Structure formats: C-alpha cells, structure tokens
A and B are shown apart, each in its own frame.
Chain A
Amino acid sequence: MTKRTFNVWRGDGGAGALAAYEVEVNEGEVVLDVLHRLQATQAPDLAVRWNCKAGKCGSCSMEINGRPRLACMARMSTFAPDEAVTVTPMRTFPVIRDLVCDVSYNYQKAREIPSFTPPPDAKPGDFRMRQADVQRMQEFRKCIECFLCQNVCHVIRDHEENKESFSGPRFLMRVAELEMHPEDTADRRAIAQDEFGLGYCNITKCCTEVCPENIKITDNALIPLKERVADRKYDPLVWLGSRIGLRKGADTPLPPNTRTTTATPEQ
C-alpha cells in the first residue's frame, strides 16, 4: 500500500476546479478503484459514472493525466511511483458534476443517421450474408459507445462551434458500417459529407489512438467513407451522369424530425 496524490476535478464545468487528495493505492488497482476509495473515505459526494469495471460498458470515460481513457482500464502500475494523477471530465462535453458529463450530443447525432434500409421486397429470412461481409462490419459493432473518440476529436474538442455540423468519428463510423452493408439500399454518401461533416475530419487518427476496443476507426471506417464520398461527389463521370440524368438511385435525406439547433457554445 502506498499513498498517491490525486488531483480530481470537482464542481460543475463553469465553476469547477482541481482538488488535491492523498489517497491509498494498493497493488493491482485501477484509477476507478482509487476514485471509489476517495468516495468511501474523503469525498462521499464525488460524482463518477461507472458500471461494469471491465472495459465493456463505456461509462467511466474521463481524462487521466490529460489522456482520454476508461478509468476502469487505467492501471495504477502504469504511472511512475511519485507521479501525481490528474483526473478531469471529458473536455468536449458539458459537465453535470465532477467527473460526470452530459453526453446527449451523441444521442442526438445517432438519431440523425438514416437507419438500415433493406430492399422493399425483402422478406424475413431472405438475407444470406457471407462471413467476409460480416467480418468487415463486425469490427465496428465492437464499439461500446464510451465516446472517447468523440471527446478526443479536435474538430469539436477545440472548436465547439463545429458541433452542429460534425457528427464525430463514432457516428461517421456508423454511417460507414451501414454503407458497407450488402443488403442496405440507402445512399448516405451525400449527407455524410454535407450533413454529418465528414469533410471536417482530417484523419489525424486520434479517435483510433484512444479507442479502448482497438477499432481501426480511421483506416477501416473514415477513410473508406471518404473514398465512397469521393465516388459520389468528386468523380467527374458520376458528376456528368448526374447532370445528364444517367445516375441511378437517389441520395437518402436526413430522417425527419431529427435535427434541432444545438446549444450555443459556452466557451
């Protein structure tokens, strides 16, 4: 057992500040264990969102020594023995209290994506997917919606005004997953660029770096989606086909009643 210094964000977003604590740490513990000890011994009103303690529910997302991580997966043994540990809420989202954020931005962006659209004449039991097709999308289904990728993405982290026009890597990955589905008939490429802000992504791969499920978000979802958008919007032959009425299919619009004006930036 050793004593460690923990600097923890206390209060709400506007008036909060870091508070220092000396707290016991035992061998094999993770940051979430130490936060629970803080609650039990020194700060009973400390707000922390958590659930599974196994890196599978995506609840305990926060920033530990400046890096977006799951508190339940951040082992104390990875810090230097005399290193203070600073724990702050995710910077991209408004703080409800202490380490708990309001992540409703993400739910709003999820609603805006046109859902899976099978062929109109498909009947239950008709789909036969090959393993190769399942595998390609299975990677994206590993997402636990911890929103660490949304948090680290500089497009909205450093520019809150972009929240309205940018859906973030998690939901662009969802669009890519649907676009790659062999039985999906919707065409979300135009709205991926125009409504979900794919063009804001400059593929700096921070989303991939922080993903606790090791999903290759940039290489396997965002870049393939950018290429598909280039097929649709920046290919001269497709453009010509659209102009003279040869292009088949139509762009799928945003679902109705899904978009509201988001809150104005506080910062």
Chain B
Amino acid sequence: MTSTLPPPERAGLARARISARTLRTDRWWVAPLLTTLGLTAFLVYGLVRALQQDHYWAADHGYLTPFYSPCIAAQCAPEAAHFGRLPFEFPWWLPYAAISLPFLLLFRFTCYYYRKAYYRSIWQAPTACAVREPHKRYTGESRFPMIGQNLHRYFFYIALVISVVNTYDAVLALFHGEQGGFGIGLGNLVLLGNVVLLWCYTLSCHSCRHVFGGRVNSFGRSPVRYWLWTQITRLNTRHMTFAWITLATLVITDLYVALVASGTVSDPRIFN
C-alpha cells in the first residue's frame, strides 16, 4: 500500500522572529474599543433598570418595558402581570422578569456575533486580526466552560418563546386607548418597532438558520426548508446589525416607558 504520509518537514526552519505585537499601521484598536464601550454601557444600564423595580409599567397606556416582561413577582402591578404572579415577593437583587432575563442574556452571550465581539474586545483573543494576543495558552471553545457555547440553540428556542411574550405585550398595549378600546400612541410605535427588530435579531440567528434548513444536505429534496434557509440567510447576513440595533431599541423602549411611567413625559397620542 502506498503511504499517504507527508514528507518530513524541513529541519531547522523557524518562523520569522518579529518582536512587534503587530506591524499594522491602521487604527485596529478603534473597533474593539467601541465594542467594549457599547457592551459595557448596555450591561450597566440593563443592570440598573432590572434592579430598580420601579417605572416599568405605564398604567394609562398599558406600556410594559421588555426588561420586566413577563412580570412575575408578587410586587408586580396586577395589570402588568400578563401571565400571573408568583405568590412571594422578590428581594431587591432579583429582577421581576427573573424567568426571562437570564435566558435572554445567555442567548446573546452565546450568540455567534456577540462571541466574536467580546472575544475580540474584552477577552482579546485576538484584539484584531494579525495582532498578537496576550494569552500564553489558548484552548478556545474546546473545553469547559466555553464548550457550553454549543448550547446556543437551546437558548434560541427559549428566546423564540420570549419574543412571542414581548409581541403579546406590544399588541395588548394597543387596547389601552384614552377613551378605552383600540388606540395608538408614540409608545405603541416604540414597542412595536422594538418587537419587530427583536424578531429580526432572533430569526437571523445562526442556529435558527441551521435548524430551519442548514442541517439539510440536499436542498433539492427539501424545497420548503431551502426556501426557509434562503430567507433566514438574507436576515443572517445582517445579524451583527440587528444585534446592535436591538441593544439600542431595548434601551430606547425601556427609557421611554420609564419616562412615561414616572410622569416625566406624557405619551403623544396619534389615535384615541
């Protein structure tokens, strides 16, 4: 049998010994810096608001912020608890939406885009392409705990359910007109816009692309899954864009609801 072994490597050859961390002359550090600032700003804002336990529900217009959805603590306003309340009160350190926030955080933490973002900007593995990373050893996602990134699809399934809950909240808010019944205010548009973009982010997920069609080997024999895969792929090419836009819309939506709920601003009505 003919051996398929490769020829022995040339002995004594060494890599180019270049001491500089990188020879890049462009501003490669700008993108990781902006990413770090953006992610930190969102996490700080989200933590403060989730623990505030106030100004989450604008009763006059039925606006519930997504940071408190579903509101399940015993302290939740009864009308804000669309899916009922637990019989005990939450301590100050437990968000009212404790049933959804951890999974949404894990969905984004294990998201293929956010992984790239924080591996580069925070973990610096690598900070930028062709820039030497500072770590002595590297095992990536091959060992515990980072091997857990492979659970992304399960957090995606949960995120799908939570997106339905957010949609329900936004639709329910449409039936809180000033005279009762159907009505539209600026807050409704903010809530609906946020929900649409959350769906875009969730459905553009790489796991979604795989589950709905990517796992199939023969598109020719699965035309429906091929069509689904094609549509999700169109969204998937903008996954990074949706990842950042939804961070912004979540903050804008929450801030708007907080301002209306606290009476700082009044909600301009478009219809009823």
Taken together as a complex, chains A and B put the C-alpha atoms of A65 and B26 apart, in Å, by: 9
Enumerate chain A residues within 8 angstroms of B220, measured Cβ to Cβ.
129-130, 132-133, 182
Enumerate chain A residues within 8 angstroms of B5, measured Cβ to Cβ.
257-258, 260
Enumerate chain A residues within 8 angstroms of B237, measured Cβ to Cβ.
219
Taking CB as reference atom, which chain A residue is nearest B230?
A: A132
A-B contacts counted at CB < 8 A amount to 184
- Within 242-271 of B, Cβ neighbours of A (below 8 Å) are at none
Enumerate chain A residues within 8 angstroms of B218, measured Cβ to Cβ.
130, 133, 182
B4 contacts A9, CB within 8 Å? no
Cβ of A215 within 8 Å of any chain B Cβ, yes or no, is: no
A96 contacts B112, CB within 8 Å? no
* Highest count of chain B CB atoms <10 Å: which of A16, A158, A204, A267: A204
Taken together as a complex, chains A and B put the C-alpha atoms of A31 and B81 apart, in Å, by: 65
A227 contacts B214, CB within 8 Å? yes
Enumerate chain A residues within 8 angstroms of B217, measured Cβ to Cβ.
133, 179-182, 184
Taken together as a complex, chains A and B put the C-alpha atoms of A108 and B140 apart, in Å, by: 22
One of A82-90, A117-125, A242-250 at the interface: A82-90
- Interface size of B by CB at 8 A reads 58
Taken together as a complex, chains A and B put the C-alpha atoms of A180 and B42 apart, in Å, by: 38
B13 contacts A219, CB within 8 Å? no
Taken together as a complex, chains A and B put the C-alpha atoms of A211 and B130 apart, in Å, by: 13
Chain B's nearest CB lies how many Å from the CB of A96?
6
- Within 245-267 of A, Cβ neighbours of B (below 8 Å) are at 255-258, 260, 262-263, 266-267
B23 contacts A255, CB within 8 Å? no
Enumerate chain B residues within 8 angstroms of A184, measured Cβ to Cβ.
217
Enumerate chain B residues within 8 angstroms of A197, measured Cβ to Cβ.
142
A12 contacts B141, CB within 8 Å? no
Cβ of B219 within 8 Å of any chain A Cβ, yes or no, is: yes
Enumerate chain A residues within 8 angstroms of B132, measured Cβ to Cβ.
157-158
What secondary structure prevails in chain B residues at the interface with A?
Answer: loop
Enumerate chain B residues within 8 angstroms of A157, measured Cβ to Cβ.
130, 132
Cβ of A55 within 8 Å of any chain B Cβ, yes or no, is: no
Enumerate chain B residues within 8 angstroms of A256, measured Cβ to Cβ.
4
Enumerate chain B residues within 8 angstroms of A231, measured Cβ to Cβ.
215
Taken together as a complex, chains A and B put the C-alpha atoms of A3 and B22 apart, in Å, by: 25
A206 contacts B130, CB within 8 Å? yes
Q: Mark A159-190, 1 if CB is under 8 A from B, else 0.
A: 11010000000000000000111101000000
B22 contacts A66, CB within 8 Å? yes
The residue from A136, A203, A226 contacting B150, defined by CB atoms under 8 A apart: A226
A12 contacts B6, CB within 8 Å? no
B16 contacts A158, CB within 8 Å? no
Q: What are some 9 contacts across the A-B interface (CB < 8 A)? A: A63-B23, A68-B130, A158-B126, A159-B137, A181-B217, A199-B139, A204-B116, A205-B116, A266-B13
Question: Chain B: residues with CB nearer than 8 A to chain A?
Answer: 1, 3-7, 9-10, 13-18, 22-26, 112, 115-116, 119-120, 125-126, 129-130, 132-133, 135, 137-143, 146-147, 150-153, 206-207, 209-210, 214-215, 217-221, 226, 236-237
